[in-house]
Amino acid sequence: MLDIDKLNEFTESHGELRRGRGLVTGTIALTLAILCFLGVLAFHFPQYLTTPELRKSYNVDVMRFILLAAMVISGGMSLVNIIFNRSRWLSSAAFLLVAASALLGGHKVPVHDFADHTPYIGLDWFILDLLGSSLIFIFIEKLFALRKDQPVFREEWQTDFHHFVVNHMIVGFVLLATNLLVHKLFGWAANDGIRGWIGNLPFWAGILLIILVADLVQYWTHRAYHEVPVLWRLHAVHHSVKAMDWMAGSRQHILELLITRTLVLAPI
């Protein structure tokens, strides 16, 4: 039932999924199953697989409910496809991952106290952003499509997905490197008087000022990427996309990511 060669061929292909063969529901089931499995791992090893800044805002009960719902939906879809012999090779992989997630504790994995200053990768941010972005943007792009014939799995989607994964999983490294660069390169420019003045502003005014400054820096940094030849060599990666969709923006050189984050955060 589980055919690795077919799965590999499927992930390396692009184009519209044929309806009525279980490919659409199988793909949804497999995607959810993978995210569920990763979510269970994040519950088991939160100190290494979750982002410290996000942990503080999590409602664990809500996270558990989302995980359970995703497991039920994925397991149900894949089981129906298996029973009716529709793309069993795809749905079997999804069902096995859901089963593995359940065996590892599923949504009931206990979370104990853990150290808060360990090295980590942003697996939680990857899971939530991929799930949320997929639900929102795929729906919007299909509803208000500029190119109605462009499939969800368009040409070179694998390349952009790889960038999406890497950019999210190394979020800890990016934040650490960015903070280090900001303090090393621009620490001398810190002014207590300006900090005090900004600190005394009303909350809404401070937020607007931060957005304005960050946006201005982002704009001029972007201009520099287009006009400075050395920087363009980095930025050209971002503009190498042949088909535009919500994931295309993830195609970004790691050095561009570091430079942009550093410059945008410097005045803040």
Do 101 and 180 belong together in one domain?
no
What value does the mean pLDDT take over residues 187-208?
73
158 part of a folded domain: no
What is residue 195's predicted lDDT score, i.e. its pLDDT? 67
163 part of a folded domain: no
Using pLDDT thresholds of 50, 70 and 90, give the confidence band for residue 233. Answer: very high
Do 124 and 34 belong together in one domain?
yes
260 part of a folded domain: yes
Query: Which of 68-72, 121-125, 204-208, 244-248 has maximum average pLDDT?
Result: 68-72
Q: Is pLDDT above 80 for 256?
A: yes
166 part of a folded domain: no
165 part of a folded domain: no
Q: Is pLDDT above 90 for 198?
A: no
Do 177 and 149 belong together in one domain?
no
Do 132 and 185 belong together in one domain?
no
Domain count, the chain: 2
Helical axes 88-103 vs 60-83, angle rounded to 10°: 140
Q: Among the three residues 124, 153, 182, which one is the final residue of a domain in this structure?
A: 153
What is residue 268's predicted lDDT score, i.e. its pLDDT? 66
Using pLDDT thresholds of 50, 70 and 90, give the confidence band for residue 234. Answer: very high
Q: Among the three residues 122, 153, 184, which one is the final residue of a domain in this structure?
A: 153
SS3 content of the chain, % helix, strand, coil (to 5): 70, 0, 30
Do 197 and 148 belong together in one domain?
no
- From first CA to last CA, the distance across the chain in angstroms is 55
What is residue 190's predicted lDDT score, i.e. its pLDDT? 64
Do 98 and 133 belong together in one domain?
yes
Do 250 and 125 belong together in one domain?
no
Q: Is pLDDT above 70 for 188?
A: no
Do 147 and 206 belong together in one domain?
no
Do 128 and 261 belong together in one domain?
no
> How distant, in Å, are the alpha carbons of 9, 130, 157, 167, 225 from that of 12?
5, 19, 9, 21, 32
Q: How far is CA 150 from the centre of its chain?
A: 22
161 part of a folded domain: no
Give me the chain's average pLDDT, please: 87
Q: How many CB atoms lie within 10 A of CB 97?
A: 24
- For residue 253, give the 3-state DSSP assignment: coil
Q: Torsions phi, psi of 266, nearest 5? A: -55, -50
What is residue 77's predicted lDDT score, i.e. its pLDDT? 96
pLDDT digits 0-9 by tens, 44-53: 999 989 988 8
Distance CA 182, CA 267 (A): 9
Using pLDDT thresholds of 50, 70 and 90, give the confidence band for residue 27. Answer: very high
Angle at CA 5, nearest 5°, toward 248 and 165? 25
Q: Is pLDDT above 90 for 1?
A: no
pLDDT digits 0-9 by tens, 91-134: 999 999 999 999 999 999 998 888 777 878 888 989 999 999 99
Q: Is pLDDT above 70 for 173?
A: no
Give me the sign of the Cα torsion angle 236, 240, 243, 248.
negative
Using pLDDT thresholds of 50, 70 and 90, give the confidence band for residue 179. Answer: low
* pTM for the predicted model, two decimal places: 0.83
The two tokens of residue 69 are 């719902």
Q: Among the three residues 153, 185, 220, which one is the final residue of a domain in this structure?
A: 153
Write the DSSP symbol of residue 228: S
Do 148 and 207 belong together in one domain?
no
Distance CA 231, CA 233 (A): 5
Helical axes 123-133 vs 157-169, angle rounded to 10°: 140
Residue range(s) defining the domain that contains residue 86: 4-153
Q: b vs e for 160-169, b when ≥16 Cβ sit within 10 Å of the residue's Cβ?
A: bbebbeebbe
Q: Residue written as tokens 């029973």?
A: 83
Q: Residue written as tokens 């994995």?
A: 109
Run of H or E residues at 180: helix 171-186
What is residue 104's predicted lDDT score, i.e. its pLDDT? 97
More confident: 183 or 145: 145
